[in-house]
Structure 1
Amino acid sequence: MTPIGKLRQASSLRQQVEEEIAAAIVSGEMAPGELVSAPTLAARFEVSATPVREAMLNLEKRGFVAAVRNKGFRVTEVDQDALTRLAQVRHLLEPEAMALLAPRFTPEMATRARAVADDIVAGAAGEDLAKYLTADRAFHLLLLEFLGNGYLVEIVADLRERTRLVGLTDLLHTRRLEASAAEHHQLVDALEAHDADAARDLMHRHIGHVTGWWSGAEER
């Protein structure tokens, strides 16, 4: 995690801190069972403890940490069954959404999507997990926004916020993270070609990383 002065711009200090801590937890940089305190994290971010406490309380609502009286917060253990169920719901929603988007995908949409995909690739190449995860979330929600269904965007955003990818840090020194990053441009390729089947299949494969590479397990 980096000092707050080096973090990307966001709408608030609390949001920046929450994004950085969430990325550390989601990726496994902050391991399940690890005990952290607001003052310690504030020192790491070079900010006051107030935005850190606010961020941690919100992360507690998301199930990422649990408050420990007089000590701080403990990173919660990953529920593998819950992770599998989350991925199952995403498999039901996102691939079909991409198939629906393919026939109506425009050059303007492609330009916007590729700009975010470039940020994902840069995050992977620079081993910047916070940048990678923020851009990844923005990319997928952007594609869903193109369909014009706010309920779908809201549901998938919530599913993604609940998903833990504790094996992600193990991919930093492998080609798998870069391969996953490249899939975003491949998805845009399929959408640009108006190939609904290819877009659907690629999205299924991409979500499969949640219970495969990104969970610390091998995909079957």
Structure 2
Amino acid sequence: MSTSAIQPIPQQSSLRDYVQQMLSTGIISGELAPGELLTVPTLAGKFGVSATPVREAMLGLARRGFVEPVRNKGFRVTSVSEEELAQIAKVRLWLEPPAMYELAASFPSERMGELRALADEIVAGAAGGDLATYLQSDHAFHMALTRLLGNRHLAEVVADLRSRTRLVGLASMVKTQKLQDSAAEHVELLQLLAAGDQEGARDLMARHIHHTLGWWSGKPEDAA
């Protein structure tokens, strides 16, 4: 089992939520590979907590389809087929690039500071090989942009689609130029939005999503 997905739990943090967040990061990034068996006692020992929050976290991950229970053994990391990943990416392409096109027409400049801070965290995570920071900041960044459109239903659908995406090649991209280039796209997207460049924002978001079928799935980008 990869240990980079398991880190000390910060003070004031919910044990269950922290364990679930770190394990989901490991699963999404491919650090915890499909088919890998996770046991509650082993995880509890690695996290340095009791079995209860770990068990609750695993049940939460099972409800999200990240793991499946194995009788008398633990939980096995589930796999997502290439066909399903392609279908998820297609739906995201139908939604997210047009959303950024619309947002560029009315981007609130007063939000630039907090959004740029998130983009900088993504860049720092890529540069330092910190996938937990990269993925958590990436999720916060994209959901913050989506919510700016004021459509709760869109935000909920995008959040669900993003939660279903697996980036199994991401772990192999740690500290690579590809990961840093992907991270830099967040800064570029903000610049396009702030400039009111609707076509540019739409096209960049489409290219960014295509990485889920290319670099982030361990394939050459021209295969995306």
TM-score by length of structure 2 reads 0.94
On the 8 A contact 1:3/1:46 being kept in 2, the answer is no
SS at match of 2:68: strand
What is the alpha-carbon distance in structure 2 between the residues aligned to residue 90 and residue 180 of structure 1? 17
On the 8 A contact 1:165/1:215 being kept in 2, the answer is yes
Query: Which of 42, 65, 68 is matched with 1:66 structurally?
Result: 68
The answer for unaligned runs of 5 or more in structure 2 is none
What is the alpha-carbon distance in structure 2 between the residues aligned to residue 147 and residue 187 of structure 1? 16
Cα offset for 1:8? 8.3
What is the alpha-carbon distance in structure 1 between the residues aligned to residue 169 and residue 191 of structure 2? 28
Alignment of 1:7-156 (within 5 A): 7=10, 10=13, 12-156=14-158
What is the alpha-carbon distance in structure 2 between the residues aligned to residue 70 and residue 185 of structure 1? 47
What is the alpha-carbon distance in structure 2 between the residues aligned to residue 17 and residue 136 of structure 1? 19
Q: Please list the CA deviations of residues 118-161 of structure 1 after superposition, one character each: whole Å capped at 9, or x if unmatched.
A: 11111111211111111000000000111111111111000011
On the 8 A contact 2:6/2:23 being kept in 1, the answer is no
Cα offset for 1:2? 3.3
On the 8 A contact 1:8/1:16 being kept in 2, the answer is no
SS at match of 1:32: coil
SS at match of 1:66: strand
Determine the structure 1 residue equivalent to 2:6.
Answer: 2
SS at match of 1:210: coil
What is the alpha-carbon distance in structure 2 between the residues aligned to residue 84 and residue 105 of structure 1? 30
Query: Aligned pair in 2 of structure 1 residues 122, 8: CA closer, same or farther (>3 Å)?
Result: farther
Question: 2:214 corresponds to which letter in structure 1?
Answer: G
What is the alpha-carbon distance in structure 2 between the residues aligned to residue 159 and residue 61 of structure 1? 15
Question: 1:4 corresponds to which letter in structure 2?
Answer: P
Query: Aligned pair in 2 of structure 1 residues 9, 209: CA closer, same or farther (>3 Å)?
Result: farther
Ranges of 4+ aligned residues in structure 1 off by more than 2 Å: 1-5, 7-10
- Worse-matched range after superposition: 191-200 or 50-59: 50-59
Equivalent pairs, count: 218
What is the alpha-carbon distance in structure 2 between the residues aligned to residue 22 and residue 219 of structure 1? 25
Cα offset for 1:181? 0.6
On the 8 A contact 2:89/2:212 being kept in 1, the answer is yes
What is the alpha-carbon distance in structure 2 between the residues aligned to residue 194 and residue 205 of structure 1? 18
SS at match of 1:4: coil
Q: What root-mean-square deviation, in Å, do the aligned CA atoms of Structure 1 and Structure 2 show?
A: 1.3
Cα offset for 1:213? 0.6
Q: Please list the CA deviations of residues 81-131 of structure 1 after superposition, one character each: whole Å capped at 9, or x if unmatched.
A: 111100000000000000000011122122221011111111111211111
What is the alpha-carbon distance in structure 2 between the residues aligned to residue 119 and residue 9 of structure 1? 21
What is the alpha-carbon distance in structure 1 between the residues aligned to residue 12 and residue 94 of structure 2? 34
The answer for unaligned runs of 5 or more in structure 1 is none
